[in-house]
């Protein structure tokens, strides 16, 4: 029998954080899952760290391929899963111990719900909590999602819904999860658990920091496509405003 939940952790040069991400999954109170760790061609010890966990827990599988980029890696990894429900955890983030138990309960009890998401807390590179997630506190609305990505960040999805919307669109270099959630919202009921069951890490090397402008433009493309699917393009157009903010940080010493 296939496990109820399939979880994907995709990693690229995340040896510093991926161990804590894996441990947070293995510590789940809901245990009927498999974990696929997808190493996207890392040139550090990401794969070696993952292999050590696979040796200790039979629910852990490892896949290691040449680097193909975050979106293509995620799409390929999700295609290699089997659970009735599926989700993904970024390799520098962590789950709260009851994240699976509480999200599975919602999908089990509500057949019309195709995706459930949770609130999140923000943490820094040293695991210190720095605040409560702002996006998830925006009331859920299919229409409001055109402007605010409130289903950020942890989501559990029915595989039938995932397949019906076409899964991850690899034409997006980033913001692929925003595009995916916009399509899900057009198909099925979505629920929120108003509890912080995910820990989202902000650090200098994260995609949200290093590819911020790219993310903004990809998000714009996702919204424009949604406007087209929903028959709203003739009534609305997206006004994109990028506001710069500068800060200083100490240089890392050479050598």
CATH number of 5-229: 3.90.550.10
Cα–Cα dist 111/69, whole Å: 34
Cα–Cα dist 134/197, whole Å: 14
Cα–Cα dist 2/81, whole Å: 9
**Residue 248, SS3 per DSSP:** coil
Per-residue confidence (pLDDT) for residue 248, from 0 to 100: 60
To 10 degrees, the CA torsion angle through 172, 45, 78, 21?
-100
Write the CB contacts of 9 (distance below 8 Å, at least 6 apart in sequence). Answer: 18, 21, 22, 25, 35, 36, 37, 38, 88, 89, 90, 91
DSSP letter at 170 equals: T
Per-residue confidence (pLDDT) for residue 97, from 0 to 100: 98
Write the CB contacts of 75 (distance below 8 Å, at least 6 apart in sequence). Answer: 167, 168, 170
- Chunk the chain into consecutive blocks of 10 residues (it has 255) and report each block's average pLDDT, rounded to whole numbers: 90 96 98 97 96 97 94 96 97 97 98 98 95 95 95 96 97 94 98 98 70 86 94 84 64 68
Per-residue confidence (pLDDT) for residue 236, from 0 to 100: 84
Per-residue confidence (pLDDT) for residue 203, from 0 to 100: 85
Per-residue confidence (pLDDT) for residue 41, from 0 to 100: 96
63, β-bridge pairs: 38
Least Cα distance to 113 among 168, 184, 194 occurs for 184
To 10 degrees, the CA torsion angle through 103, 132, 204, 53?
-30
Per-residue confidence (pLDDT) for residue 72, from 0 to 100: 95
């Amino acid at each position: 029998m296939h496990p109820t939940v399939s979880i994907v952790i995709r990693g690229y040069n995340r040896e510093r954080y991926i161990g804590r991400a894996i441990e947070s999954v293995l510590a789940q109170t809901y245990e009927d899952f498999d974990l696929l760790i997808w190493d996207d061609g890392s040139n550090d010890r990401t794969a070696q760290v993952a292999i050590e966990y696979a040796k200790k827990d039979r629910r852990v599988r490892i896949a290691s391929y040449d680097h193909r980029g975050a979106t293509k890696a995620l799409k390929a990894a999700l295609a290699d899963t089997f659970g009735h429900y599926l989700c993904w955890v970024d390799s520098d983030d962590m789950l709260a111990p009851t994240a699976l138990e509480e999200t599975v309960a919602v999908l089990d009890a509500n057949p019309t719900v195709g995706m459930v998401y949770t609130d999140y807390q923000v943490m820094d590179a040293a695991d210190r909590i720095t605040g409560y997630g702002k996006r998830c506190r925006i009331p859920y609305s299919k229409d409001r999602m055109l402007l605010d990505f409130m289903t950020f960040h942890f989501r559990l999805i029915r595989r039938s819904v995932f397949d019906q919307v076409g899964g991850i669109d690899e034409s997006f270099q980033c913001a692929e999860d925003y595009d995916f959630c916009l399509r899900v919202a057009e198909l099925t009921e979505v629920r929120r658990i108003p509890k912080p069951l995910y820990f989202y890490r902000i650090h200098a090397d994260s995609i949200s920091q290093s590819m911020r402008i790219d993310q903004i433009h990809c998000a714009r493309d996702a919204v424009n496509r949604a406007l087209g699917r929903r028959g709203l393009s003739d009534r609305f157009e997206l006004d994109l405003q990028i506001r710069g903010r500068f800060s200083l940080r100490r240089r890392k010493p050479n050598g």
